[in-house]
Structures are given as structure tokens and as C-alpha cells.
Amino acid sequence: MDKRELIIDALQQLFEEGKAGTASVSEIARKANIAKGGMYYYFKSKEEVLDALVERVYQNIINECESVINQSKENAVSKMKLLLDHYRQSYVDPTLDEYLHMPENAGIHQKSLVQISTSLSPIISRILEQGVQEGIFICDYPQQYADIIMSVFSFLLDPGLFLRSRQNMILELKGFADLLEKGLNAPEKSFSFLYTFK
Amino acid sequence: MDKRELIIDALQQLFEEGKAGTASVSEIARKANIAKGGMYYYFKSKEEVLDALVERVYQNIINECESVINQSKENAVSKMKLLLDHYRQSYVDPTLDEYLHMPENAGIHQKSLVQISTSLSPIISRILEQGVQEGIFICDYPQQYADIIMSVFSFLLDPGLFLRSRQNMILELKGFADLLEKGLNAPEKSFSFLYTFK
């Protein structure tokens, strides 16, 4: 494994141990078994390591979502459920998630949301196109609908941005499902998976 | 005018002069004709003044949108056009806007987007309800549709987050108009104002 990845691993471990918030660059280097001087060859600051870690975490989520969809042979509605459920349940270490929601890390957070939206949107768009071919959906703007879906997930449904009761969250998801069903001319309840939790 | 407002005015003037980025707390105080010590009674740091300025700028936009809608006697489609056009054309000093899009100010930016979404959403919701009463729209989830509309504006259509050609921006807006028309069962082209610019 290359040294760059080892340094990112070290910060990830510090997050899992709950020590990342206060960890200095030296501590990250020590954890990675790398001389502090060598570390600066890869990263100029702790923020850069954090940035790389966040990018890796989100890239992993994107890769998993892609692989789940590529392996599926189901129809468009089932694929939408598969993808969006997988995305929503994707694991981000709670300490890292909390860190991302601190005002001073909003820049990295926003960048990661743009990254994940830009990456997942083409996958959703292809599923919508599949649905049109299957005769389940009617949609002249699959790419744009996909972008809207991702922006609702990235902004409106972020519990770190909007504090909501569980009941209000379910209402938001019901409204969102209703808009998608009507927009796509999809059978009623096609998107009920959005608000019916395990 | 109270001193707090004078200090915010001073930072606003510094923005207009293009000097806000490098201005120190002392310079803001000098501009406001307030002793530096007195200034700390109102604001602990430059960031706090900036925060207050951004809040005031966005609160003014919210107030103007509210007043424009309260004075209108038009139908729901015209009111939607009135509100969304007014919101999109609302003036934010370009230097302040640029400042808000720097990664280190993403926290304040995000807060202001949440503030404006939360404030404009009930106004949009009332317009949608009016449309239902007028028989122009069908909508069981006016509040949730309104939240989705605001999140598309706050995230997807933010040119500071997503770089797009003018052509792609128009496509995004066409897709968004299409989704709203279908979702609300509104007459075709009701939302064409979204993509037909002056």
C-alpha cells in the first residue's frame, strides 16, 4: 500500500478512536509510521488529509452504488429502490459525519455533496431511461430529474442542515415520492420505499 | 441607528469598496466611527460581523419577497413567477457573493441558504394552496413541494457549486419546470418562466 493511503488510513483510525478532532499532523504521522517530514511530501496540512479521507469515503460509497446497480437485472423501479436505499444506508463513521457538519468544515462537506451528486446522478439518469424503455416511466429530462433527486438528498434531507422530527421527515419523503410518481407518470406507490423504513 | 447596525453597515461598505477581504476588526471599527473596545461589545470577531451582514442581506431578500407576494392579487401561477423571478434576481453584492463561495466561508453560506429556504418555503406553500383552490394545481403536499423547490434553488442551481454552461443551465431549468408542471398537474408551460429569461 502506498504511503499516501497509509496516512489517510491513520486519520480514519483516529476518527474511529474518537481522537481525530484534536490530532495534530505529528500524531497522524506517528500513527501511520511515517516521519513527519515525509508526511509533508504527501499532505501540507491536516485539512488536506481530512479532505482526502472524505473524498475516499464518498468515492467508496459511489463505487458500491455503481456496483450494486451494475449487478442488478431488475426493472427500473426496483433499481431506484436498490440505489437510493443503498445510498441512504451507506455508512459514514458517525464521528466523521459529525466533524463534517461543523461550520468550519462546511467547505469540505459541500465539496463532498457536490462530488456524490455529480457521480450518482448519471446512474439515476440511466435507471430513468431504462424505465422509459420498459414503459414504466414517461420522462423527457432523465438527467435533469436525476440532478433534482440528488439535490433533494444532498440538501433538503440532510439532517445536519435541517432538524426535523421523524414524523416531519416521513412527510418530506412522502411529498418527494408523490412528486416523483407524478413527474415520471409512474404507478402510484412506486416510490413508497422512500418513506417505508425497515 | 443603533451601533450594531452601524458596524454591519461599515462591513457592507468595505465590501462595496472591495476592501472587505483584508479588512481587520480595527478597520471595520474605524469605518463605523466606533472605538475598537466598543466594537467588541457587539461582535467578538470579524466573522461575527460577516455572519450578521449575511443574515441581514438575506433577511432583506426574504422581506422583499414577502412584500411582493402580499401586494399581489394575481393567480397562483403568476405569483409563483413573481416570487421566483424576484428571488433569482435579488441583488447580492458580487464581492460578498464571491466571499460566500470561498471554502472557508461555506459554513456561513450554508446557514444563509438554510435560512432563506426555511423562510421562503411557507410563502411558496401558500401559493401552491391558492393554486389548488383556484383549480390550477392538484397538490396534496404543498409544504413538501415548496421545500423541494427551495432545495433545488439552494443547491442544484447555485452557480458557485455547479459550474454549467448557459445551455446546460437552461436544460436544468426546463427539466425542473417539467417536473413541477407534471407534479402539480399544472397547464403545460405554466413554469416556462423558469427558463425564458428577459
Please tell me the predicted confidence (pLDDT) of residue A191. 97
Note the pLDDT of residue B159.
83
- In 3D space, the residue among A129, A120, A121 whose CA is nearest the CA of residue A76 turns out to be A129
Quick one: average pLDDT of A61-70? 94
Closest Cβ opposite residue B140 in set A151, A176, A178: A178
Distance from CA of A33 to the nearest CA of B (A): 31
Please indicate whether residue A160 or residue B126 has the higher confidence score (pLDDT): B126
Rounded-to-integer distance, Cα B18 and Cα B16, Å: 5
DSSP state of B104: G
Distance CA A127, CA A121 (A): 10
Mean pLDDT of B71-78: 96
pLDDT band at B106 (very low <50, low <70, confident <90, very high): confident
ipTM score here?
Answer: 0.90
Taking any CB pair shorter than 8 Å as contact, residues of chain B touching chain A are: 102-111, 113-114, 117-118, 140-141, 143-145, 147-148, 150-152, 154-156, 161-162, 171-172, 174-176, 178-179, 182-183, 185
What residue type is A157 in one-letter code?
L
Residue, of B118 and B20, whose pLDDT is higher: B118
Nearest to B114 among A104, A151, A162 (CB): A162
Residue A16 · residue A99 · CB < 8 Å: no
Measured between CB atoms, which of B117, B150, B179 is closest to A145?
B179
Cell 473596545 appears where? Answer: B37
Segment A122-140 mean pLDDT: 98
| Average model confidence (pLDDT) across chain B | 92
C-alpha cell at A101: 457538519
Q: Tell me the pLDDT band of B97, cut-offs 50, 70 and 90.
A: confident
Confidence of residue B22 (pLDDT cuts 50, 70, 90): confident
Summarised one tens digit per residue, pLDDT across range A99-118 is 888 888 888 888 889 999 99
The per-residue pLDDT for B121 is: 96
Query: Measured at the alpha carbon of residue A35, what is the angle toward residues A34 and A40, in degrees to the nearest 5?
Result: 95
Mean pLDDT of B100-122: 89
* Average of per-residue pLDDT across A125-147: 98
Share the mean pLDDT of chain A: 92
Contacts of B145 (CB under 8 A, 6+ apart): A175, A179, B124, B125, B128, B139, B180, B183, B184
Q: What is the pLDDT of residues B138-172, one digit of tens each?
A: 999 999 999 999 999 989 998 888 889 999 999 99
* SS3 label, residue B111: helix
Most confident of A17-26, A186-195, B32-41: A186-195
Query: Residue range A165-182: average pLDDT?
Result: 96
Per-residue model confidence (pLDDT) at position B156: 92
pLDDT exceeds 70 at position B77: yes
Judge whether residue B198 has pLDDT over 60: no
Q: What percent of chain B has pLDDT over 90?
A: 67
* Cβ <8 Å between B178 and A140: yes
In chain A, residues with a C-beta closer than 8 Å to the C-beta of B162 are 114, 118
Q: Does B107 contact A108 at a Cβ distance shorter than 8 Å?
A: no
Per the CB < 8 Å rule, is B152 touching A154? no
Q: In this structure, are residues A148 and B176 in contact, taking their beta carbons and an 8 Å threshold?
A: yes
DSSP string, A94-122: HHHHHHHTSGGGHHHHHHHHHHHHHHHHH
Looking at residue A198, its pLDDT comes to 54
State residue B59's pLDDT score.
92
What one-letter code names the amino acid at A88? R
Cell of A137: 416511466
Q: pLDDT value at position B104?
A: 81
* For residue B197, pLDDT beyond 80: no
pLDDT, position B91 = 79
The pTM (predicted TM-score) of the whole model is 0.90
Answer yes or no: do B143 and A171 touch at CB < 8 A. yes
Q: Give me B94's grid cell.
A: 458580487
Chain B contact probe: residue of A155, A180, A192 with most B CBs at under 10 A: A155
Distance of CA B82 to the CA centre of its chain: 14
How many interface pairs between A and B have CB atoms less than 8 angstroms apart? 114
Please state the rounded mean pLDDT for residues A125-142. Answer: 98
DSSP, residue by residue, B90-130? ----HHHHHHHTSGGGHHHHHHHHHHHHHHHHHHHHHHHHH
pLDDT at A12 over 60: yes
Give the per-residue pLDDT at A177.
98
**How many angstroms separate the Cα of B120 from the Cα of each of A44, A170, B97, B146?**
42, 21, 19, 8
- Residue of B178, B180, B182, B185 best to disrupt the A interface, most CBs of A under 10 A: B182
User: Which residue is listed with cell 458517525?
Assistant: A94
- Rg of the Cα trace of chain B? 19
